[in-house]
Amino acid sequence: MRTLTGLIALAVPTLLIGCKSELPPLEFHGERVVVGSDVVDEICAGTLARLDREVIQIEVRLDLSHERAPLHVYVVSPETIAGYCHSSSCVVLNRVEPFALVNHRSFERALVHELTHARLAHRRPVPLLEEGVAVAMSPPQCPVTVPPDLGLFELLDKQGTELLALGVSYYIAGEFVAWQLEEFGPSSFMSFYANVSRDSSATAVQAKYRAHFDRDIEDDPFAYIRTLQELEALEALAPENFGCVAPPAPTNGKVISLQATLSCDSDLVQTDFGVAGNGFIEWTLTLEHVQTFELVGSVPEWTSLSLQRCGCVPNRGSVAHLQLQPRPVKQYETLEPGTYRLRWDGALDEELMLDVKLVPID
């Protein structure tokens, strides 16, 4: 089910602190976000569109209305974040409008987690649920081993930093919330979520859970955690659950036709916060049957076209870690059924043109 995006050390509690630090202006506007950054001069139109899609995806999955004001998001340096929180990224609540601070170095991994915190900042339940729902909205981690003696009840009294220190607790929290969403539906879960206050004791949460769902919170305590034997069920989740929210690759009949420029004004082009001056475009490709493609055309020099299967975030050193890593597109590609992420990246340049085709071979 939903788990942390492979960086428990980067997933951070929502914070309420009073220190002040200069933040960049919020000068880039999407429909669901307004963004500022001190690490790039311009945030590309595609990044704003992607942030909008991510917020809408969170709202749809949690059955939330779209009536709230756009989220305030800062993509900033670690030095700027240090003025507000002691972690890599966080959501700050000491202003009229809460805002998310996202470390530019971990933008891809921490983004959805922090957007979820920002979207739900007006509701603050116990950390197990608060962090659990942020983990549940993020791309899922591949199953990990959970100690059999670690009970859910004892985690209800833990603060966010304590959960983080335990490591696997974030995984358990995400799995538990994801199971609740599937078992009871988002409306019922969010009703329970809103009814649990920040200072509720474990006993109080347990009583509210029993009253709301007519079952004990520790009934079958690990029934909701996916095991390695259940990877097939995990892989059956919709691609957007894995963070594959990019538009589908354009087609001409059965031919995949990729034509684009790396212009920051394009709704397709996203800012690469990891490489100064770079941008990228992503498309999704969904296959129902095994298919072999031939790459026709040349990828421009100093740019790369890569391919990555949409799936759970693998643990380093695992077989899945090698299987699910992005890799350059070869001249001939035989792909199994599933959804893939195609990515073209390079220096931002409106005159740089990609014009290639993936032609199916019967």
The model's pLDDT over 15-65, given as tens digits with 9 standing for 90+, comes to 444 445 689 999 999 999 999 999 999 999 999 999 998 999 999 999 998
pLDDT for the residue 97: 80
Q: Where are the alpha helices (H) located in the chain, listed in sequence order?
A: 45-61, 78-82, 107-119, 127-137, 152-155, 160-166, 168-184, 186-194, 202-213, 231-235, 319-323
pTM for the full predicted model: 0.84
**Where do the domains of the chain lie, and which CATH numbers do they carry?**
28-234 (1.10.390), 246-361 (2.60.120)
The answer to whether 158 and 13 are in contact (CB under 8 A) is no
- Of 358, 359, 360, 344, which Cα lies nearest the Cα of 260? 344
Q: Please say if the pLDDT value at position 247 is more than 50.
A: yes
Q: What's the pLDDT score for residue 58?
A: 94
How is residue 186 written in tokens? 């988002």
pLDDT band, residue 9 (cuts 50/70/90): very low
pLDDT in tens, 138-163: 887 777 777 766 777 778 887 777 77
Residue pLDDT, tens place only, 64-85? 988 788 999 999 999 999 988 8
Reported confidence tier of residue 134, pLDDT bands at 50, 70, 90? very high
> Confidence class of residue 314 from pLDDT cuts 50, 70 and 90?
low
Which whole number is the average pLDDT over 119-144? 87
Rounded distance between C-alpha atoms, residue 75 and residue 24, angstroms: 9
Indicate if the pLDDT at residue 218 is higher than 80.
no
Alpha carbon 213 to chain centroid distance?
28
**pLDDT of residue 343 exceeding 70:** yes
Residue 101 to residue 19: CA distance in whole angstroms:
14
In the chain, % of residues over pLDDT 90? 51
Alpha-carbon distance 92 to 212, whole Å? 30
